[in-house]
Amino acid sequence: MNTHDDSGMDADSHAGHAHDVSGVSDSRLLWAVGLNQLLTLGQIVAGVFSGSLALMADALHNFNDAMALLIAYIARRVSRRQATKAFTFGYRRAELIGAMINLTALAMVGLYLIYEAVMRFIEPKEITGWLMMAAAGLALVVDIATAVLLWVMSRGNLNVRAAFVHNMTDAAASVAVLLGGLAIIYLDVYWIDPLLTLVIAGYVLYQALTMLPKAARILMGAAPPGIDFDEVVQAMQGHELVEEIHHVHIWQLDESHCAMEAHVVIDPSAVNQMRAVKHSLKRVLEEQFEIGHSTLEFELSDEQLGGTEHHGQVTPH
User: What does the alpha-carbon distance between residue 144 and residue 225 come to, in Å, rounded to a whole number?
Assistant: 33
How far CA 141 is from CA of 15, 101, 145, 180, 219, in Å, comes to 39, 26, 6, 17, 36
What strand order describes the sheet that includes 258-266? Answer: 3-5, 293-300, 258-266, 242-252
Where does the pLDDT of residue 226 fall: very low under 50, low under 70, confident under 90, or very high at 90 and above? confident
Model confidence at 20: pLDDT above 70: no
Tens digits of per-residue pLDDT, 67-76?
767 776 777 7
- Residue 15's pLDDT is 31
Please give the domain boundaries of the chain with CATH numbers for all domains.
11-219 (1.20.1510.10), 224-307 (3.30.70.1350)
The mean per-residue pLDDT over the stretch 109-121 comes to 85
Where does the pLDDT of residue 24 fall: very low under 50, low under 70, confident under 90, or very high at 90 and above? very low
> pTM of this prediction?
0.63
Q: Which amino acid is at 87?
A: F
Phi, psi of 126 (to 5 degrees): -70, 145
Tens digits of per-residue pLDDT, 275-316?
999 999 999 999 999 898 899 999 988 763 444 444 334 455
